[in-house]
């Protein structure tokens, strides 16, 4: 018998234990278990956890699913959004296709062991705060990213590389778990690319994290040229996932 229940105090430990079977793939779900913007549903089969569905409510509806195919079929039937982004294993892609008309992209899950990282000299880089909101807002407009600048600076560790007081490259730590931190949103304005700014920015962020965690993970579209930079910096591919777009137009 299969049934779906909401996350609660009496099942939270079991859910975390289930997700820790793959702590890097599931870092985002683990990190958001206690987030007020998240809703988590657990799929049980004969009282055994078979799947976990995370519904994350911010600028876009973002959905993560981890579990087997049968539990995926049941979990997907609870989704009734007009648009969403979803991260799933490729084995479950056909299930999503049957219910939604989607676009999708293949991504690498990459991991860096900080102990193996060689730090480089950093340029004019800092962790952004409220005094940088205007600069970050201008950067967001130029980058095409769809985020709320004030919300991002308030809720995440956002870092920026400045040239002549202009923010030209940025990235964030968007996930924090006992096993790993998650790096995201690395973007450099077109005019300032191929100058090593992203490399220096990432080095700065890794150093910032070095006394807080042993690992950093990131998700990156497989045909993104940034894959070469991440590999050169020491990130290793540890898995693959599918980024699903349903009526959002967002490209990872």
Tell me: the pLDDT tens digits for 16-48? 999 999 999 999 999 988 877 789 999 999 999
For helices 226-233 and 197-209, the axis angle rounded to 10 degrees is 50
- Report if residue 106 sits inside a domain: no
Residue 160 to residue 179: CA distance in whole angstroms: 25
pLDDT < 50 positions in the chain: none
pLDDT of the residue at 58: 67
DSSP tag of 165: T
DSSP tag of 29: H
CATH number for 131? 3.40.630.30
Structurally, how many domains does the chain consist of? 2
- Domain membership of residue 71 as a residue range: 2-100
pLDDT of the residue at 59: 63
Q: Give this prediction's pTM.
A: 0.93
pLDDT of the residue at 250: 87
For the chain, the maximum distance between any two Cα atoms, rounded to a whole number of angstroms, is 63
Provide φ and ψ at 150, rounded to 5°.
Answer: -65, -45
DSSP tag of 55: E
Residue 110 to residue 28: CA distance in whole angstroms: 14
pLDDT of the residue at 115: 94
Give per-residue pLDDT as tens, 149-161: 888 898 899 999 9
- Report if residue 245 sits inside a domain: no
Tokens of 127: 């962790």
Residues 6 or more apart whose Cβ sits within 8 Å of residue 204: 122, 125, 159
Same domain, 48 and 138: no
Residue 167 to residue 19: CA distance in whole angstroms: 37
């Amino acid at each position: 018998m299969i049934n779906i229940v909401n996350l609660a105090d009496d099942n939270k430990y079991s859910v975390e234990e289930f997700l820790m079977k793959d702590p890097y793939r599931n870092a985002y779900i683990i990190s958001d278990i206690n987030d007020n913007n998240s809703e988590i549903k657990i799929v049980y089969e004969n009282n055994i956890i078979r799947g976990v569905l995370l519904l994350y409510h911010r600028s876009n509806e973002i959905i993560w699913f981890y579990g087997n195919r049968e539990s995926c079929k049941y979990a997907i039937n609870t989704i009734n959004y007009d648009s969403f982004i979803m991260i799933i294993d490729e084995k479950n892609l056909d299930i999503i296709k049957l219910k939604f008309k989607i676009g999708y992209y293949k991504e690498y899950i990459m991991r860096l062991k900080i102990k193996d990282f060689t730090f480089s000299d950093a340029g004019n880089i800092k962790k952004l705060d409220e005094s940088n909101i205007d600069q970050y807002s201008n950067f967001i407009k130029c980058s095409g990213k769809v985020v709320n600048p004030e919300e991002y600076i308030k809720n995440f560790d956002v870092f920026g590389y400045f040239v002549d007081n202009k923010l030209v490259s940025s990235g964030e730590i968007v996930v924090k778990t006992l096993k790993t931190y998650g790096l995201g949103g690395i973007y450099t304005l077109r005019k300032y690319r191929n100058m090593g700014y992203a490399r220096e920015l990432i080095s700065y962020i890794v150093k910032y994290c070095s006394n807080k965690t042993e690992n950093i993970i990131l998700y990156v579209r497989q045909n993104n040229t940034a894959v070469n930079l991440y590999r050169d910096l020491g990130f290793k591919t540890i898995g693959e996932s599918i980024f699903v777009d349903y009526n959002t137009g967002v490209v990872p």
